[in-house]
Amino acid sequence: MAAIDSAYHYYLSTYGTSKVSRYDTHKKSQLRAVYNQIVKTNKDTPLYKIPDSTDVKKFAIDLKEHTRSIQNVIAALSDNDEGIENVFNKKVAKSSDESSVNVTYIGEDQSLDNSLHFDVEVKQLAAPQINVGKFLYPDECDFKTGTYTFDISTDLSSYEFQYTVSRNDDNQHILEKLARLVNSSGAGIHADLAKNASNKIALRLTSSQTGLADGQSYLFEVTPSSDHASAKAMQTLGIDCVTQTASNSSFLLNGTEHASLSNTFTVNNAFELTLNKPSSQANPVQIGFKTTADSIVDNVQSLVNVYNNLIQLSYRYDSTQEADKLRRDFTQVVKPYYNEFESYGLKLSDDGAIKVDTHLLTDAVTSTDAKECFATLNKFKNDLGTTAGTVSVDPLNYASKTMITYKKPGHKNFSCPYLTSVYSGMMLDRYC
């Protein structure tokens, strides 16, 4: 159980905040194909002994997430059924000031006029609720020995927390223990320690959610238990006082005022906006589309980026896992296209990554023989997707392990369809 807990903790802390795209949902036929691939892979797989180390769990989860990113980008580029030359010609939104507003086009209509645009003026960002407790000297102890409880209530549920103060505990140890307790609870609240100019420390609670809906006065409320000792300990902690009230974002769309509970929202189910900071009233941010050539280059770059991210991942685990084998399998996908890619501005470097010359690529996708360029890029996209799918099914194929025995060749072997999932940290809502 501890091993599974450590895998889930790594997954949640590293990938828990990543966005879920519509390509993370699948049809029954797609799920059945993945299941059949798992069965086929495990049918003749030798029996291995996997070392019980955190590094293996992290490697498997990282590999699953990176291959999922590759598959999602490929799925996005495979939506267009209007010919090979249009595979990479998907609309890409642009912002005139990305430091204030980021934008992504999430619509499905690819026939919109590239001249379509609208203005955004950011007046105020949405903010979380923050409770900061009383500041205490870290190497002293302001709590009496004993066991105390308090509740944190949100709109969805209530959480009870119990902590014990031992004789040798100091304030630093107690507050760090409370921070770990809150962070592992899944209450949607991040706890850390704040420090003031006098080097005193306090427990700080920050909601992951922002904004207040109509009728809401808080996102979370901290209350001590009814016993006198817990109430006294809460007076010492001070985390029941709201330091910053949650607030909504405020912005203008083409001069019309709007508000949102979050800094990320959609406009007409087509544009996803993320507000980063207030913008200038005199110069509102203009949201529109990139030119056709720029959109194609961006889409090719997004495919190259997820490939390069996996190559970089392999170097992170070079000393502990069979990362050279992983790197070799993915660079083999590129090598058949080496000559064509160089003429398109895509160059395979010595470390296995692909470097993009945007000027050469722009010339290639706008030339008279651009159709050949798109055909090559499309083949590479499909080959990369096939390799990523194979790796995703059995990430531990690239882990350092000890082989125990082969299954008898030529005989009907017993299938263990979920053998890999036990070790790979497979999350059922994302991968099954």
What are 140-170's pLDDT values in tens digits? 999 999 999 999 998 888 999 999 999 999 9
> Which residue type does 379 have?
K
CA dist 112 to 107, 108, 109, 292, Å?
10, 10, 6, 12
Asked whether the whole model's pTM tops 0.75, one would answer no
Q: Of 294, 265, 365, give the one whose Cα is nearest residue 93.
A: 294
Place of tokens 């993370």: 24
Rg (CA), the chain: 26
CA dist 95 to 104, 117, 193, Å?
9, 10, 36
pLDDT at 420: 54
For residue 333, what pLDDT band results from cuts at 50, 70 and 90? Answer: very high
pLDDT at 429: 35
Predicted confidence (pLDDT) at residue 23 exceeds the cutoff of 80 = no
| Residues 158-166: contacts with CB under 8 Å, at least 24 apart | 159/185, 159/187, 161/185, 165/141, 165/233
Between CA 163 and CA 166 the distance in angstroms is: 10
Task: Report the percent of the chain where pLDDT is more than 90.
Answer: 56
pLDDT tens-digit series, residues 211-243: 999 988 999 999 999 899 999 999 999 999 999
Cβ count within 10 A of residue 250: 17
Mean pLDDT of 122-135: 96
Tokens matching residue 217: 């006065």
Taking a C-beta distance cutoff of 8 angstroms, is the pair 354, 346 a contact? yes
Place of tokens 């790594």: 10
Mean pLDDT of 348-358: 93
Q: In what order do the strands lie in the sheet with 93-95?
A: 93-95, 285-289, 118-124, 249-253, 256-260
pLDDT at 426: 40
For residue 337, what pLDDT band results from cuts at 50, 70 and 90? Answer: very high
Q: Is 91 left (phi over 0), alpha (psi -120 to 50) or beta?
A: beta
